[in-house]
Amino acid sequence: MSTFENGSGTRELTGKRALVTGGTRGIGAAVVRQLLDAGAEVLTTARSATRTAPQGATFVAADVRTRAGAQALAAAAQETLGGVDILVHNAGGGRPYKGASAVPDEEWQDALDLNFLAAVRLDALLTPGMRERRSGTIVHVSSAAVRTPAGPFLHYTAAKAALENYSRGLAPELAPSGIRVNTVSPGRTATPGRTATPGGEETRERWAHLDLAPGVVNAGDTAPLGRDGRPEDIADTVLFLVTERAGWLTGSNLVVDGGEFPRG
Ligand SMILES: NC(=O)c1ccc[n+]([C@@H]2O[C@H](COP(=O)([O-])OP(=O)(O)OC[C@H]3O[C@@H](n4cnc5c(N)ncnc54)[C@H](OP(=O)(O)O)[C@@H]3O)[C@@H](O)[C@H]2O)c1
């Protein structure tokens, strides 16, 4: 029996319809691949399609930072899937600034739109259908770095902290309707998004003018388990959360970071 098969030999997520934001590369692409392997039908989105987008998923271009983008995505989900059983908010990120006061207003707004409000808006659009079916599961992707808010990514970690707080509060609200809400917080994970920020080998020089602390720049050598995360490490946890194996888990935040960031 494969990992994704249930006792009767069918794949664990057969018949489930999933929407994954930011599924064309990195963690999102790994989540899409695992959902497909488990038998789900998958719709994913990004602002632009890439050659690395997983085969087998339906792709629709949308910018999740805007209300119009969220509405277009919800409409596409209804049209192509007929509804959503599994919603994974993975699109996120932020570029560094030298201190909070250097972050322009529009970048604060952008960080909130991408890392927090996109999830709030899409949840509001898609949970009515889940409530009707009295079933659904939502995963919000945050960041382990919320536990050490500082320096160049404060706008990003503040937005992710809002996401975690919202996620924890949404869980008991939706639980009576049979909907589970959980968060996954990755540590430093080797993805294209990561190589575009300090710590990424390709771009150490690009951000040299920011004079960032070594802790920001170093990657896997700081994790007790001794390596960067792989997108699949995060996707494994997301997959677990959306299956019935996690049927008694809601309001949780699973930190997947090789033991690097402080707990509690
Ligand atoms: N990698 C890490 O070390 C790490 C650590 C902690 C948390 N995380 C979190 O994990 C998630 C995935 O990170 P990643 O490193 O895999 O990112 P990534 O490699 O940069 O990929 C991001 C994905 O999201 C899409 N995207 C970005 N902005 C979007 C927008 N406005 N609308 C729609 N799609 C958008 C991208 O496609 P387009 O650019 O074409 O839109 C891409 O498919 C993020 O929420 C990130 O904050 C990552």
Residue nearest atom 27 of ligand 1, based on CA coordinates: 91
C-alpha span between 50 and 62 (Å, rounded): 13
In the chain, the domains with their CATH numbers are 17-190+230-253 (3.40.50.720)
Residue nearest atom 24 of ligand 1, based on CA coordinates: 22
Q: Which residues contact 84 (CB under 8 A, 6 or more apart)?
A: 17, 18, 19, 43, 77, 126, 129, 130, 136
pLDDT digits (tens, 9 = 90+) for 248-264: 999 999 999 999 888 76
Task: Give the confidence band of 98 by pLDDT, cuts at 50, 70, 90.
Answer: confident
Its pTM stands at: 0.93
C-alpha span between 42 and 32 (Å, rounded): 7
Q: Which residues contact 10 (CB under 8 A, 6 or more apart)?
A: 39
- Of residues 24 and 205, the one with the higher pLDDT is 24
Whether 185 contacts 164, CB under 8 Å: yes
Q: Please state, rounded to an integer, the average pLDDT across all residues of the chain.
A: 89
Is the pLDDT at 7 greater than 70? The verdict is no
- Of residues 221 and 80, the one with the higher pLDDT is 80
Q: Which of 153, 156, 166, 261 is catalytic?
A: 156
Is the CB of 44 inside a 6 Å radius of any atom of ligand 1?
no
Q: How far is CA 157 from CA 91, 125, 148, 171, in A?
A: 14, 25, 8, 21
Q: Which residues contact 191 (CB under 8 A, 6 or more apart)?
A: 25, 26, 27, 231
CA of 175 to the centre of ligand 1 (A): 28
Dihedral over Cα of 227, 3, 34, 128: its sign: negative
CA of 93 to the centre of ligand 1 (A): 6
Is the CB of 141 inside a 6 Å radius of any atom of ligand 1?
yes
Is the pLDDT at 3 greater than 80? The verdict is no
- Please report the pLDDT score of residue 217 as a whole number: 44
Dihedral over Cα of 107, 113, 114, 115: its sign: positive
Pairing of strands 179-186, 253-256: parallel
C-alpha span between 86 and 36 (Å, rounded): 12
Is the CB of 188 inside a 6 Å radius of any atom of ligand 1?
yes
C-alpha span between 185 and 90 (Å, rounded): 11
pLDDT digits (tens, 9 = 90+) for 180-206: 999 999 998 988 887 666 555 545 555
Which tokens sit at 29?
Answer: 């692409």
Catalytic residue flag (residue 156): yes
**Mean pLDDT confidence for 142-149:** 94
Which among 255, 93, 104 is positioned nearest to 182, based on CA atoms?
255
Highest mean pLDDT among 53-62, 109-118, 203-212: 109-118
Pairing of strands 86-89, 17-21: parallel
Task: Give the confidence band of 215 by pLDDT, cuts at 50, 70, 90.
Answer: very low
126 burial via Cβ count (<10 Å: 0-12, 13-18, 19+): buried
pLDDT digits (tens, 9 = 90+) for 156-166: 999 999 999 99
| Secondary structure percentages of the chain, helix, strand, coil, to 5 | 45, 15, 40
Q: Which helix (H) or strand (E) holds 181?
A: strand 179-186
CA of 161 to the centre of ligand 1 (A): 17
Q: By percentage, how much of the chain surpasses pLDDT 90?
A: 70
Sheet-wide strand order for 41-46: 58-61, 41-46, 17-21, 86-89, 136-141, 179-186, 253-256
Is the CB of 186 inside a 6 Å radius of any atom of ligand 1?
yes
